[in-house]
Amino acid sequence: MVSNFGQVITAMVTPFDNKQSINFAQARKLAAHLTQNGTDGLVVSGTTGESPALSKDEKIELFNNVVDEVGGNASIIAGTGSNSTADSITMTKAVEKIGVNGVLVVAPYYNKPTQEGLFQHFKAIAESTDLPVMVYNIPGRSVVNILPETVARLAEIKNVVAIKESSGNMDQISEYKRCLPDDFDIYSGDDSMTLPMLALGARGVVSVSSHLVGVRIKEMINAYASSNAALALQIHLELMPLFKGLFITTSPAPIKAALNMTGWQVGGLRLPLVDVTDTERAFIGSLLQSMKLLGKP
């Protein structure tokens, strides 16, 4: 099985209203905007979407709304992973009926499984569904690192088709490319690592910054693919302050603040996450102004 997720995948925030309920109308509006501005696919209820703070019913309703709004115009990847294999299987089976194009399954956090435990976790989930599976490696949040040899074993499962890689370890990414099939897609999980990872054979990025600069990120990827490395580097350096600035504190607090400043009513965050501080808000506002992003959409 080959994935068809695209190059620029936005890890979409989950908008809340002033009572901390999901603002489904705003989620639909944001999804439509993103697909019209450089985004090929959407990760819904991922880390940026505050998945740990959403109930199963909320996730299902969110998936339904996004698929109804933009299904057919973008690939919809449902965040169904957790640190419980059984719960991840239940959620993955539930989204099959909705019409999503794939699932994102994060490495189990807190449990701290061995490499064999990681393999068995992802294998059990993949074998429970016909949907394409994107594995998510993010040691900074999950504590465990999925090693290249484990990913290679997973790639032998027909519907494990991609990995979102957020280790920041370029040697590991090189090893992925050495041991994985050519049709297995590697995605950068960090905006600032996208261009370096393209040089190592990555297909694209699961991005946070694409909420604001999706078209420009797509231009960077296309420039590199067209052998215009100089232009790709120029765009990368232009966007670098934003890539780093949107992670001055725990994500998705900065991107939600930025979206609110640019006219999107995405609300705050659910505990245990909190909004940016006044100092951080001032920094983000200055950054957006310097990049001529205020006043949008």
DSSP secondary structure, 85-128, as one string: HHHHHHHHHHHHTTT-SEEEEEPPPSS---HHHHHHHHHHHHTT
Please report how the helices 24-35 and 210-225 are oriented relative to each other, as an axis angle in degrees rounded to 10: 20
Instruction: Give the N- to C-terminal CA distance of the chain in Å, as an integer.
Output: 37
Of 3 and 66, more confident: 66
Q: What is the CATH number of the domain that holds 201?
A: 3.20.20.70
What value does the mean pLDDT of the chain take?
96
The answer to whether the beta carbons of residues 148 and 163 sit under 8 Å apart is: no
Would residue 186 count as lying in a domain?
yes
Exactly one of 136, 176, 187, 224 is catalytic; which is it? 136
Report percent pLDDT > 90 for the chain: 97
Would residue 129 count as lying in a domain?
yes
Among this protein's residues, is 56 annotated catalytic?
no
User: What is the domain range of residue 22?
Assistant: 8-237
pLDDT, residue 294, reads 87
What tokens does 27 get? 């989620």
Would residue 273 count as lying in a domain?
no
Exactly one of 97, 112, 164, 224 is catalytic; which is it? 164
pLDDT, residue 1, reads 65
Among this protein's residues, is 164 annotated catalytic?
yes
The answer to whether the beta carbons of residues 185 and 200 sit under 8 Å apart is: no
Q: ∠ at Cα 77 (12, 25), nearest 5°?
A: 45
Would residue 152 count as lying in a domain?
yes
Would residue 244 count as lying in a domain?
no
Number of domains composing the chain? 1
Cα gap 287→52, rounded to integer Å: 29
What tokens does 106 get? 């994060």
Would residue 274 count as lying in a domain?
no
Each residue's pLDDT tens digit, 69-107: 999 999 999 999 999 999 999 999 999 999 999 999 999
Q: What is the pTM of this model?
A: 0.96
Would residue 82 count as lying in a domain?
yes
Would residue 265 count as lying in a domain?
no
